[in-house]
Chains A and B, each alone.
Chain A
Amino acid sequence: MELERALAIDVENVCFRYRGISDMFFSKLNLKVAKGERFGLFGPNGAGKTTLISLMTGLFSADEGHIKLFGREIGTKDKTVNKLFGFVPQDLAFYQELSPVENMEFFGAWSGLDKKAIKKRIDELLPMLGLGDVRNKQVQKFSGGMKRRVNLAIGVMHKPEILFLDEPTVGVDVQTRLAIINYLLELNKQGTTLIYTSHQLSEAEGLCEQVALMEDGKIIAQNNLRSLLAEYNQDSLEHLFLNLTGKGSRN
């Protein structure tokens, strides 16, 4: 019972197939993430990281099995469970025609925040992410790094219990990447569970304490990062990754 309460995410015997394809992509997939963990999902292209995140956020529906966030099933008609998590997708998920403030006002309302809470979070987040000076400028004029920070700010507007991050630092400079990672570590300290995917393994090594390596829709290894490195006698996540998934390119 104690373990149940501590679970942030429980993926249980999940089967999933893409429409029009007869073979199961996930077959009886299981994954448990404890509350407050910094969990990394890694794997080559097409391994199933984004698909798994899409299932955990209710974007896709599982053909069989259950996915629970803090004990509540995701993907049902009751969308109040969606308040529990925030999502920072790989694509820039906001309106480029609007300013950061305008985007946050809109997405904040859709996340269920009231006007006062929205204003408070805008005033907190934008200076923290280095966007205070450009808060009222149209995002389409921003650099790639600034857009990534806006993407993150919107994802954490409603102080979610779980934050899904699908390659949040892709295409940004070192400074922006550091700013984002530091902010994520700070969030985690406050109790937010992080689910993170990236191809930047050195960056991930500094962020994630628990990792799962995926290939062809299966989790081929999952444990505490230090334990996994020790188990496979590797000195870095990158070497562990290559050791388990091979060096060939994937489509």
Chain B
Amino acid sequence: MLKLLATIVKDTRILWRDKVGISLMFIMPMMLVIVVTNIQDSTFQLVNKSKLPMLICNKDTGQTSKQLITSIDKMAMFNISEVNKDLNESQLVDIMTEKEAMLVVMIPANFSFKVIAKSKSMTGKALTSFGLKGDTLQRKTDIDPPLSLYYNPVLQESLLLSVQGAVRSALQLVESRVTLRSLYFSINEEIMPAKLENEMLDNKTVINVLPATRGGTSTTPNATQHNVPAWTIFAMFFVIMSLGGSIIREKMSGSFIRLKTLPTNYLTALLSKQIVYLGATLLQAAIIFSMGVWFFPFLNLPALNLPSDKLALLIITLACGWCAVSYAICVGVFANTQEQVNGFGAISIVILAAIGGLMVPSFAMQGFFKNITTLSPMHWCIQAYYTLFLEGGKLGDIMHKLFPIIMITILLQLASYLGLKRKKLI
């Protein structure tokens, strides 16, 4: 017991004096969490709260285009400014840069006429199908109003899809209004009353958007709830830089020769490293979570809401930490140089994080990558954390995610043991 205690004290002292290792383990992940959460929160704010700058070049003189602009404006998603209608495509691109606009909607000269013509055509078809007399002379292809949407290529695809959906929705509203008026006029031969028109168009089914949580808890998902657990796991696995390096340094130094001649098994040294670095990973998690809870609001970021089941949080954090430490030890045992640990360690952690769903959600992956995501221990760690942080889950809900983490950890420990045996280090 004294041997283990002395080794733990020795490893703690060495870790404490390893300023580079400490900064890699604590300061860099903290900065990473702040930066990534900030970026994602900004994107979230941009989509949900801030308005995207949009220019409108209206070459049309009719009322329908004005209604379209009003509809887009009412969505409260865009900050609209109209530009000179005589601009051509290349001038539009220039003015986008000049005004730092992400989007330009170009309404063609005969937009109103074409929308009305299309509506009349649709009305004619509808009346004909009801057995009434209608105008069906114009074919749809001739009267499709070509609305153009220019976008800045830096705009992310997902955001662009949201914009497209919003513009399409505004356009649909305008088209529906015109079609409705046309239909009413054809049947009643009088203008549709404004009250009835508004009632019909505003009669939308309300969509309740609710996070699917267990037990009805209502933690609103936000950039903090997503990023803090994810980057905490990344930070834990990044102990490889310090722990893997420590094993290599020990193996390559004269002290290892002495250790091998002493009446103590080297497994004691590895057990000590596991205990010390497991403590370090728990400390990392405690610091990053505390930062999320208390420090993030000072940065105008959403505060982290900790799960209600603190025991489950502790258990999954312990399991993730132990898995991270086991991975670092395994790499440290098999690597022969510090460069191998640094190079392989850093790159493998980034790859495991990527396929594990820390960078891109694993549900968004396709085919082969979706299948291999389960091979990454980080996948199981993040899934368990999400169950606790986002779904309000309890210990029972994460057991099936805890099991693969423990299995991977045992496999890593076994591989390390065999590696030590093969290299005659124990």
Contact = CB atoms under 8 A, between A and B. Distances in A.
Given A97-B18, A110-B263, A110-B264, 9 more contacts: A59-B257, A61-B424, A85-B261, A87-B261, A89-B257, A91-B254, A92-B254, A108-B6, A109-B7
Interface in B1-26: 2-3, 5-7, 9-10, 13-14, 17-18
Interface stretch (A111-119, A185-193, A225-233): A111-119
B10 A98 contact: yes
A111 B13 contact: no
A81 B5 CA distance: 23
A93 interface: yes
22 contacts: A79-B265, A82-B261, A87-B258, A87-B261, A89-B258, A90-B254, A91-B254, A92-B253, A93-B255, A95-B255, A97-B14, A97-B17, A108-B6, A109-B5, A109-B6, A110-B6, A110-B263, A111-B263, A112-B263, A114-B2, A115-B2, A138-B17
A94 interface: yes
Interface string B230-271: 000000000000000000000001110111111111001000
Interface residues of A, number: 35
A238 interface: no
A105 interface: yes
Contacts of A87: 257-258, 261
Contacts of B10: 95, 98, 102, 105-106
A94 B254 contact: yes
A239 to B, nearest CB: 33
Contact of B262 (A90, A91, A111): A111
Contacts of B6: 105-106, 108-110
A154 B258 contact: yes
Contacts of B260: 58-59
Nearest to B3: A109
Interface residues of B, number: 25
Contacts of B424: 61
A116 B62 CA distance: 98
A136 to B, nearest CB: 12
Given A97-B18, A98-B13, A109 B2 contact: yes
A198 interface: no
Contacts of B257: 59, 87, 89, 91, 93
A72 B316 CA distance: 49
Contacts of A61: 424
B13 A102 contact: yes
Nearest to A157: B262
A109 B8 CA distance: 12
Contacts of B9: 105-106
Contacts of A85: 261
B263 A83 contact: yes
A45 interface: no
Nearest to B14: A97
Contacts of A109: 2-3, 5-7
A234 interface: no
B374 to A, nearest CB: 39
Which of A95, A98, A105 has the most chain B CB within a 10 Å cutoff?
A95
B53 to A, nearest CB: 55
Contacts of A224: none
A25 interface: no
B12 to A, nearest CB: 11
Contacts of A90: 254
B261 A58 contact: yes
Interface string A171-205: 00000000000000000000000000000000000
